[in-house]
Amino acid sequence: MACTTEDVVAALRRCAEVISEHRDELVELDREIGDADHGENLNRGFAAVVSAVDSTMPETPGAALKLAATTLISKVGGAAGPLYGTAFLRAATTVGDAAELDAPMVAKVLRAAMDGVVARGKAEQGDKTMVDALHPAVLAAESATEVPVGELLKAAATAASEGAAATVPLVARKGRASYLGERSAGHLDPGARSTELLLGAFAGGQR
């Protein structure tokens, strides 16, 4: 099964639902090692994404991803706004005006999204950031291009979960948690957790 515009829009709606459900958890994770705004900012941003797709009704997967990108950049603020915005923007650019996305394309999209986050935030794997969830997800997707898109996304989401969980013992080297130094160890990184949730939302409704 390839991924259509409807699938992308439905996935964006699921992202908004999942972030809304986990808003308080993300706020609490960020309160522990950051500044307690991650859940609130993402929730505001993805609610705006849903409003935007409702009023604009994008016609291609790329248009839907680009709309999500520009909305996140203008509504989220913090580090997460430009980072997730850039991820969606690079994804949209990679997709171009394709009507449907097959598994190899989705793997390419994930790679481009991660490259965008790395270019913008300059974080590397192991810095205790969203890259720690994204990187294993990209690798999993790239080794699953022979399967249906839904299965590829599930593999990516599972790898993102493992990557996020692996941030717990890490000492943060980027973002606000880095000010804590050693005291940041022992906490799940909120950005890695939201990446895990978003990839889970993308995988959630795919067959």
Residues contributing to the site for another protein (CB under 8 A) = 27, 31, 34-37, 40-41, 44, 73-83, 120-121, 173-176, 178-181, 183
The minimum distance between CB 203 and another protein, in angstroms, equals: 27
Least distance CB 44 / another protein (angstroms): 8
Minimum distance from residue 188 beta carbon to another protein (Å)? 17
For the chain, the farthest-separated pair of C-alpha atoms sits apart, in whole angstroms, at 48
Residue 35 or 59: the one with the smaller Cβ distance to another protein is: 35
Comparing CB distances to another protein, the nearer of 36 and 165 is 36
183 within 8 A of 176, measured Cβ to Cβ: no
Structure tokens given for 79: 């580090």
SS3 content of the chain, % helix, strand, coil (to 5): 70, 0, 25
**Exposed e or buried b per residue across 140-168, where buried means at least 16 C-beta atoms within 10 angstroms of its C-beta:** bbbebeeebbbbbbbbbbbbbbebbbbbe
Q: Do 39 and 22 contact (CB within 8 A), yes or no?
A: yes
CB of 79 or CB of 201, closer to another protein: 79
Which residue's CB is nearer to another protein, number 90 or number 174? 174
Closest approach of Cβ 20 to another protein, in Å? 14
Q: Which is nearer to another protein, 83 or 164 (CB)?
A: 83
Residue 148 near residue 188 (C-beta atoms within 8 A): no
CA torsion, points 30, 124, 121, 196, in degrees to nearest 10? -50
CB of 40 to another protein, least distance (A): 5
Q: Pick the closer one to another protein by CB: 6 or 24.
A: 24
Asked whether 142 and 122 are in contact (CB, 8 A), the reply is: no
Q: How far is the CB of 200 from another protein (least distance, A)?
A: 24
